């Protein structure tokens, strides 16, 4: 009997082992296809979902799809459709389970294998490239994602999904005019959930919040209730509402997300954020405990650090902060760029602004025109007391007309430091009217400024 556990076969050995298998078959040795074993050993595994996120029959369907694709690939390592099917499973599971460190490298592996196949059809190449761009975006490799998605669009300029990755890439790289052009083309090709969601994001970036909400509702109407992508759109709609002070409407969206997709951890964490802001710490902790037991999402743990500090449990906060650092490093070890996440943690959880600046500057070197990167740098320089530098980066962060409440707050604080008391107070009041619960570091800075 062949036992796959007896073999640990590296990819570069496959051709040699295939020859060995042929010779073995010629001499009528026992039927043990070592090449099949080699392929099977190199197919990344499907990890178990926690019970909370099985979502009815969805998990059963995912397992069936995985097994069917894996078995097809074991039989024929050149089977591109099987590789594409596996990639779809891995990308979905990364989003649903939060196991980014396992699933994104797994998706990269099978997609790169698909792109090496000589039998690849133009449509299969297009699908491979669009999924590859999606993974590159998820790992924050935005320049690579742009090149990949441009290749895809050259292959098929009449399909919408390739334009979606181009929109996302240009947004992250800070080329918003080109992002708008790509979004226009995308929605002309196919006005669906994905295209409406991207239009919404671009409208919000340019300060058109009401139009952004309208577009996100169109995206929601175009989706199927209960699917991961529709739940994500509803969550995003709730987040926009919450960011701009419409908390009650945001809570409604989060609760509807939980009705459509029970135990959806991102909605639970969003409700926990609202509860914590309202001083309902017991409820916030209950929701965060549910969310963290479902998936290992680093953002949930940073929320817990803030919660433990707010309730005076510094030992628990320190212990959880150590877990956050381990999780961030794990993402980095698996190919995920986490510069901006590290900058945020060192700014709002650690209070080490020099360290935060190192990470923010690394990200600035990669995408100097992105407004979020510039806002992060403006915040850090303000906290370091370099108000001229802070103003310089805040100006770039505001160049799209963004009405982001924290940007307004930061601009108000800078104006106060520059002696523009009236302007500063107006900006701070506008920011507070929209979002009275800014990030920890800016909340402390506001308290100091107001004496």
Q: For 309-356, how does the pLDDT look when each residue is reduced to its tens digit (9 = 90+)?
A: 999 999 999 999 999 999 999 999 999 999 999 999 999 999 999 999
With a cut of 70, say whether residue 92 has pLDDT above it: yes
- Scanning 27-79, the segments in alpha helix (DSSP H) are 34-41, 58-75
The SS3 call for residue 207 is coil
22-to-25, 76, 110, 169, 326 alpha-carbon distances in Å: 5, 15, 25, 46, 46
10 Å Cβ neighbour count for 417?
16
- Nearest-CA neighbor of 381 among 367, 399, 395, 365? 395
pLDDT-derived band of residue 47, with 50, 70 and 90 as boundaries? very high
What is the pLDDT, as a whole number, of residue 451?
Answer: 80
Rounded Cα distance, 214 and 370, in Å: 24
The two structure tokens encoding residue 276: 């914590």
- 370 conformational bin, left if phi > 0, alpha if psi -120 to 50, beta if neither: beta
Is the confidence at residue 284, as pLDDT, over 50?
yes
Kindly tell me if the per-residue pLDDT of 2 is higher than 60: no
Q: How would you classify residue 272: left for phi > 0, otherwise alpha for psi between -120 and 50, otherwise beta?
A: alpha
pLDDT band at 39 (very low <50, low <70, confident <90, very high): low
**pLDDT tens, position by position, 288-312:** 999 999 999 999 999 999 999 999 9
Length of the chain: 451
257-265 average pLDDT score? 97
Candidates 295, 298, 297; CA nearest to 54 is 295
CA 131, CA 126: separation in Å to the nearest integer? 9
Q: Is the dihedral of CA 327, 270, 58, 110 positive or negative?
A: negative
Q: Where are the beta strands (DSSP E) in 112-249?
A: none
How far apart, in whole angstroms, are the C-alpha atoms of residue 50 and residue 247? 30
Rounded to whole angstroms, the Cα distance separating 366 from 143 reads 9
> Above 50 in pLDDT, residue 27?
no
Instruction: Read off the pLDDT of residues 159-200 as tens digits, 9 standing for 90 and up.
Output: 999 999 999 999 999 999 999 999 999 999 999 999 999 999
pTM: 0.89
HEC string of 83-133 equals HHHHHHHHHHHHHHHCCHHHHHHHHHHHHHHHHCCCCCCHHHHHHHHHHHH
What are all long-range contacts of 253-257, with beta carbons under 8 Å and residues at least 24 apart?
257/231
CA distance 389 to 324: 30
């Amino acid at each position: 009997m062949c036992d796959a556990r007896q073999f640990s076969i590296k990819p570069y050995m496959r051709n040699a082992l295939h020859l060995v298998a042929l010779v073995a078959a010629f001499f009528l040795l026992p039927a043990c296809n070592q090449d099949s074993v080699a392929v099977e050993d190199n197919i990344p595994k499907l990890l178990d979902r926690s019970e909370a996120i099985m979502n009815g029959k969805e998990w059963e369907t995912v397992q069936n799809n995985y097994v069917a694709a894996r078995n097809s690939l074991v039989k024929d390592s050149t089977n591109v459709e099987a590789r594409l099917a596996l990639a779809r499973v891995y990308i979905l599971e990364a989003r649903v389970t939060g196991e980014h460190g396992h699933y994104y490298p797994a998706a990269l592996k099978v997609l790169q294998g698909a792109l090496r196949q000589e039998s690849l059809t133009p449509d299969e190449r297009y699908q491979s490239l669009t999924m590859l761009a999606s993974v590159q975006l998820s790992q924050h490799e935005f320049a690579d994602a742009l090149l990949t998605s441009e290749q895809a669009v050259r292959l098929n300029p009449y399909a919408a999904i390739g334009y979606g990755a181009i929109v996302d890439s240009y947004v992250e790289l800070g080329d918003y005019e080109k992002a708008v052009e790509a979004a226009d083309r995308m929605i002309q090709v196919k006005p669906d959930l994905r295209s409406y969601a991207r239009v919404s994001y671009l409208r919000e970036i340019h300060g058109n919040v009401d139009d952004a909400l309208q577009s996100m509702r169109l995206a929601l109407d175009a989706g199927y209730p209960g699917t991961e992508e529709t739940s994500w759109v509803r969550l995003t709609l709730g987040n926009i509402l919450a960011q701009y002070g419409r908390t009650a409407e945001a809570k409604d969206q989060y609760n509807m997300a939980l009705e459509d997709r029970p135990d959806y951890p991102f909605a639970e964490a969003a409700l926990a954020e609202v509860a914590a802001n309202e001083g309902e710490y017991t409820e916030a902790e209950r929701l965060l405990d549910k969310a963290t037991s479902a998936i290992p999402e680093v953002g949930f743990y940073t929320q817990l650090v803030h919660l433990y500090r707010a309730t005076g449990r510094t030992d628990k906060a320190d212990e959880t902060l150590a877990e956050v650092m381990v999780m961030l490093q794990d993402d980095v070890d698996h190919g995920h760029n986490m510069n901006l996440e590290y900058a945020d943690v060192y700014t709002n959880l650690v209070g080490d602004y020099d360290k935060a600046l190192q990470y923010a500057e690394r990200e600035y070197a990669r995408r100097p025109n992105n407004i979020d990167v510039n806002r992060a740098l403006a915040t850090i320089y303000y906290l370091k007391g370099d108000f001229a530098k802070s103003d310089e980066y805040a100006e770039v962060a505001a160049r799209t007309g963004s009405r982001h409440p924290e940007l307004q707050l930061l601009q108000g604080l800078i104006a106060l430091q520059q002696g523009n008391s009236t302007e500063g107070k107006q900006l701070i009041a506008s920011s507070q009217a929209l979002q009275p619960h800014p990030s920890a570091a800016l909340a402390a800075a506001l308290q100091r400024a107001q004496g």
